[in-house]
């Protein structure tokens, strides 16, 4: 089977949700399902935060800075393609947290053309042809100002500057034939769902139903379920952290990805007057261990094995917890209340929206 490599750029103004979307992608497309996700981090932020190379503070001009950014970006993009050719998986998704055309937003068109030409005579047309789809996530400074923050240490923009950079970035990518704009028209969760929908379309893969129903079920015969539905197990551990703000709930997650582990840091923000949204970012193992020192000792870590499978053309997940030998939790991704489930599973009752079966409550009581 020939490898299928899909290259998707995430761009947009500051505080647009790119990091959270990358976490969603890593959570969704797993090695156990035959996927390899290769992520290319934002080059400018790495140079500013990691190397101290910055286009302000009398360090260098913005034009000189772009030489560094473009050279590093080209190098990383080549490494990503080399890695895609080497890894054993056939389904490859390369996610770019910003890419070469983003640099055009910071200098004049003529300056950008001259800098590009230094690297093997590159042109904008050649650069644009190297990406399959571009998702422009509109900054929260446009329509979701309450969520705008300066959490990225490399980010110094005001709301007005963020809006201007969003416009300039969109213009820089306007020549791509598969540019998709993901705005803030509803809420942050809807924004992430729309972005994920575009990623599924780019991959040519049916997207899972957005609707999700939750059921308390009797513990099934796991071996029989795996034999019938080819259920794939995924080990996960979620730990709640001490609150540092009354309106923000923090947690970390460890999840197995093939022979390795992925780590994530999540914040659930509660808006005054109602409403909430989640932000999430991948973290390193070292960062994960540091966060463990901030664990809320009033709650247990929630460890579970999630079995993912498809039945009757619907995606389903069975969560099995070590503290429950007789019961488990089934998720059915469907808007259909009467969705068929495998005969190995017996439903006790539906618990969609029941706070007693949310992870935070399970962390407190450790029982189903």
Token digits of residue 252: 């970390």
What does the angle CA 36 – CA 42 – CA 48 come to, to the nearest 5 degrees?
Answer: 145
d(CA 368, CA 350): 13
> Residue 65's CB: how many other CB atoms inside 10 A?
21
Q: Quote the pTM value.
A: 0.80
3-state class of 107 per DSSP? coil
| H or E, element range at 364 | helix 359-365
CATH 3.40.190.10 fits 4-203, yes or no: no
Q: Give the start-to-end residue ranges of the domains of the chain.
A: 4-203, 213-365
pLDDT at site 258: 78
Tokens 């005001």 belong to 158
3-state class of 142 per DSSP? coil
Return the CATH architecture of domain 213-365: Beta Barrel (2.40)
Q: What is the mean pLDDT of each run of 10 residues along the chain (368 residues)?
A: 91 92 92 91 88 75 91 96 95 96 95 95 95 95 75 63 93 94 89 93 78 93 94 93 91 88 91 78 94 96 93 91 96 82 95 93 94
Give DSSP secondary structure letters for 213-244: EEEEEEPP-HHHHHHHH-PEEEEEEEEEB--S
**CB proximity list for 218: less than 8 A, separation 6 or greater:** 326, 327, 328, 345, 346, 348
d(CA 368, CA 357): 7
**CB proximity list for 323: less than 8 A, separation 6 or greater:** 366, 367, 368
pLDDT at site 159: 85
pLDDT at site 82: 96
What does the angle CA 342 – CA 347 – CA 352 come to, to the nearest 5 degrees?
Answer: 110
């Amino acid at each position: 089977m020939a490898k299928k490599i899909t290259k998707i750029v995430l761009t947009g103004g500051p505080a647009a949700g790119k990091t959270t979307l990358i976490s969603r992608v890593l959570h969704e497309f797993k090695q156990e399902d035959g996927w390899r996700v290769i992520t290319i981090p934002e080059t400018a932020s790495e140079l500013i935060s990691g190397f101290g190379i910055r286009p302000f503070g009398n360090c260098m001009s913005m034009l000189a800075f772009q030489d560094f950014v473009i050279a590093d970006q080209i190098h990383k993009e080549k490494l990503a393609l080399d890695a895609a050719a080497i890894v054993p998986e056939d389904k490859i998704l390369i996610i770019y947290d910003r890419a070469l055309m983003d640099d055009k937003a910071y200098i004049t068109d003529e300056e950008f053309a001259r800098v590009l030409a230094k690297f093997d005579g590159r042109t904008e047309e050649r650069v644009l042809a190297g990406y399959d789809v571009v998702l422009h996530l509109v900054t929260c400074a446009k329509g979701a100002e309450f969520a705008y923050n300066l959490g990225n240490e490399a980010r110094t923009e005001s709301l007005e500057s963020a809006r201007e950079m969003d416009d300039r970035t969109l213009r820089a990518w306007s020549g791509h034939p598969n540019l998709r704009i993901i705005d803030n028209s509803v809420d942050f969760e809807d924004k992430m769902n729309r972005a994920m929908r575009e990623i599924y379309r780019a991959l040519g893969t049916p997207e899972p139903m957005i609707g999700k129903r939750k059921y308390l079920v009797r513990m099934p015969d796991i071996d029989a379920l795996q034999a019938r539905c080819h259920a794939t197990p995924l080990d996960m551990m979620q730990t709640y952290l001490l609150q540092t703000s009354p309106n923000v709930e923090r947690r970390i997650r460890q999840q197995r990805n093939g022979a390795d582990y992925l780590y994530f840091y999540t914040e659930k923000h509660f808006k005054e007057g109602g409403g909430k949204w989640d932000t999430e970012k991948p973290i390193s193992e070292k960062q994960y261990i540091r966060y463990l020192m901030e664990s809320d000792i009033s709650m247990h870590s929630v460890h579970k094995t999630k079995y993912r499978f498809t039945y009757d053309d619907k995606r389903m997940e069975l969560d099995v917890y070590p503290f429950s030998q007789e019961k488990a939790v089934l998720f059915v991704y469907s808007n259909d209340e009467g969705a068929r489930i495998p005969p190995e599973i017996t439903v006790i009752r539906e618990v969609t929206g029941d706070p007693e079966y949310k992870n935070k409550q399970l962390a407190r009581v450790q029982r189903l």
